[in-house]
């Protein structure tokens, strides 16, 4: 077995950032920030068993890196964040009540983000025998199928019926001996087409 490693990938980023700030007045200060961006590349990290990114650079597309161009593993299309600080209006209260109620402040940080892209891979022993190792081999998208069929539920996040193994050239899961069972292809589904759930946090 011979492995080739080469720094032959590219990365592209386009983005827009907008921010608004309200300086302290009447006990309130606030900041708002919004980012709209798109990042594509041909591998976001070198996967070697401990990579934190969902899609790595290693794979079987070395001789045609254009086949690997996809949304970056860290691509998040929309991000909104806000923070605020508010001095509660009890500072002028005197006596024991002032000692208890005075000096209190409410602060918060709100963050809303879209999900990041995920890829669906085909672990296929038949393809392994033909190409040596089907690392990052993709599945086939059925004819007219949805490449991002998110259902959203925790038990079944996406619809697997939109995809078939890379050895199947039809719209169903095939078996050896079927007319549409043809091994030797990489798979037609692009990388990073499935979108993970977004996140909303309030501290």
**pLDDT(92) > 90:** no
User: CA-based Rg of the chain, rounded to a whole angstrom?
Assistant: 25
Q: What is the pLDDT of residues 124-141, one digit of tens each?
A: 766 666 655 556 688 999
C-beta pairs of 101-107 under 8 Å, 24+ apart in sequence: 107/83
**pLDDT(6) > 60:** yes
- CB-facing half-sphere around the CA of 181: CA atoms within 13 A: 9
Highest average pLDDT, of 1-15, 104-118, 123-137, 178-192, comes from: 104-118
CA distance 36 to 11: 17
pLDDT at 26: 87
pLDDT at 59: 67
By DSSP bridging, strand 78-87 and strand 11-25 are unpaired
Q: What is the pLDDT of residues 154-196, one digit of tens each?
A: 899 999 999 999 899 999 999 999 999 998 888 899 888 999 9
DSSP, res 4: -
**pLDDT(11) > 70:** yes
Query: How many CB atoms neighbour CB 140 within 10 A?
Result: 22
pLDDT at 54: 58
By DSSP bridging, strand 28-41 and strand 11-25 are antiparallel
By DSSP bridging, strand 70-71 and strand 78-87 are unpaired
CA distance 34 to 19: 6
Total residue count of the chain as it appears in this document = 203
pLDDT confidence of 61, banded at 50, 70, 90? confident
């Amino acid at each position: 077995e011979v492995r080739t490693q080469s720094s032959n990938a590219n990365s592209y980023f386009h983005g827009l950032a907008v921010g608004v700030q309200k300086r302290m007045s009447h006990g309130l200060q606030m900041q708002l920030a919004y980012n709209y961006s798109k990042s594509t590349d041909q591998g976001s990290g070198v996967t070697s068993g401990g990579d934190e990114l969902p899609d790595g650079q290693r794979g079987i597309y070395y001789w045609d890196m254009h086949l690997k161009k996809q949304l970056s593993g860290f691509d998040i299309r929309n991000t909104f964040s806000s923070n605020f600080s508010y001095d509660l209006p009890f500072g002028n209260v005197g006596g024991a009540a002032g000692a208890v109620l005075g000096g209190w402040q409410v602060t918060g940080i709100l963050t809303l983000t879209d999900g990041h892209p995920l890829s669906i891979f085909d672990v296929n022993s038949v393809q392994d025998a033909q190409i040596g190792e089907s690392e990052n081999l993709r599945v086939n998208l059925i004819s007219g199928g949805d490449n991002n069929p998110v259902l959203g539920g925790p038990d079944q996040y996406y619809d697997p019926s939109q995809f078939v193994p890379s050895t199947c050239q039809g719209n169903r899961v095939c078996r050896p001996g079927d007319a549409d069972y043809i091994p030797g292809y990489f798979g037609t589904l692009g990388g990073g087409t499935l979108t993970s759930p977004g996140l909303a946090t309030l501290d």
